[in-house]
Structure 1
């Protein structure tokens, strides 16, 4: 039996897939620009602190959203999850601006700490790309009332999104002495 896509799925699913491919590609391209363009005139350390703040607030909202849904508070769950999504979108725009504006800052740690940092960084980056379609599909299914599909994908989305948010803060803390 072949499943058919709803009219909205035929529109939204290709958009989600397109964004899931385009966003990571754009970030990689911007990270490798030969020239930087100081768009906002901010010091290099301003962006990382802002990004860590957004990631920390996102993690708190994700935890609250999980607690709300476990306690049957669907409206509160929806509201904090939409806010977490908005913060993540703000993070993405700010991150792109920071990559256009500032040269990458190398990590200067040594020894075992260096291995721990790069493990966290690499898993954070890889899961950051994976989380884009997961969040978009989870939000879409929840907002369209397809709760059984929403719940199935949210079981994967929540822990990965939480990991990305928390490791975003950890990457900032590791890098703090070098900004």
Structure 2
């Protein structure tokens, strides 16, 4: 069922915009914070695993909507959102308690690593408003806007989650 009014409330738009700005700023600020004496070195494989599961749940959401199972689609998307939030919390917790790991590869593999890493970081910032607006349109049954935005948000979200796993696999041999 489509609603006749294809707009989000101004409050919803402001909230999504604020969250889309606050999250990257908070992460950037927290990268300057170091908490000594806490060992969270076990987290990188966990948050890489969370990203891998996110890719799977996003693909399952796609299958569900292709089969016109909106309730299952919504469930998988909501689970993907929770996973992404949990990833973010683990990622920040690890980085405020651990020193950065330098990538030790050389030559072409180094170029590939930095391309994947930089595109992952840039798109992880950009994906926040895309995903949140897509979700808001969908949950508010603003189907036309939801479909338009998801054309961009979905593949980028998959890319960000998948490259999170790839970055981990490439850097993991260099963890101390």
TM-score (norm. length: structure 2): 0.92
Which residue of the partner structure matches residue 134 of structure 1?
Answer: 130
Q: 1:7-156 maps to which residues of 2 (within 5 A)?
A: 9-33=9-33, 36-38=34-36, 41-44=38-41, 46-156=42-152
CA–CA distance in structure 1, aligned partners of residues 43 and 23 of structure 2:
19
Q: Where does structure 2 lack aligned partners over 5 or more consecutive residues?
A: none
Q: CA 1:107/1:11 → structure 2, altered by over 3 Å: closer, same or farther?
A: same
The number of residues matched between the two structures is 171
8 Å Cα contact 2:40/2:94 also seen in 1: no
Residues in 1 aligned to 2:161 and 2:20: alpha-carbon distance in whole angstroms:
18
Say what the alpha-carbon RMSD is for the aligned residues.
1.7
The aligned counterpart of 1:172 is 168
Structure 1 residue 133: deviation in Å?
Answer: 0.4
Moved over 4 A (4+): none
2:9 aligned counterpart, secondary structure: helix
- State the distance in 2 between where 1:42 and 1:138 align: 37
**TM-score under structure 1 length normalisation:** 0.90
Alignment partners' CA distance in 2, 1:38 and 1:162:
34
Structure 1 residues 65 and 102: CA distance shift in structure 2, 3 A:
same
Give the unaligned 5+ runs of structure 1: none
Deviates more, 1:159-168 or 1:93-102: 93-102
8 Å Cα contact 2:45-2:168 kept in structure 1: yes
